[in-house]
Amino acid sequence: MRMDKELLARQLASLRQISPSQAADELDQAVHHILKKLRRGQTVSLPGIGTLRSADGKPVLQHRRKRRAAAQRRKRSSRG
């Protein structure tokens, strides 16, 4: 499912009972905050989605399922 900024702002506005323009401003602030953290080399956790990190100056999303599978593989290999 693809969601553009306008649709996401409308959904957020409806959930939070604020105007779509206020919701769009909040989305802009959230994206700015995420990008700022990535530029500093920090990771950003997106609950239910995964983790964003910076690799060679570009954001990379490590999906939640892949992270869980990698952890399970490490656990199995440490047993042996």
Q: Per-domain residue ranges for the chain?
A: 1-33, 43-80
Query: Which amino acid appears at position 40 of this protein?
Result: R
Tell me, yes or no, if the pTM score tops 0.75.
no
Distance CA 27, CA 12 (A): 9
Q: pLDDT value at position 59?
A: 82
Query: Cβ(19)–Cβ(13) under 8 Å?
Result: yes
Tell me: the pLDDT tens digits for 20-74? 999 999 999 999 999 999 999 999 999 988 999 998 878 888 887 755 666 666 6
Q: pLDDT value at position 66?
A: 58
Which tokens in the block code for residue 60? Answer: 């990379």
Distance CA 61, CA 22 (A): 27
Query: Which amino acid appears at position 45 of this protein?
Result: S
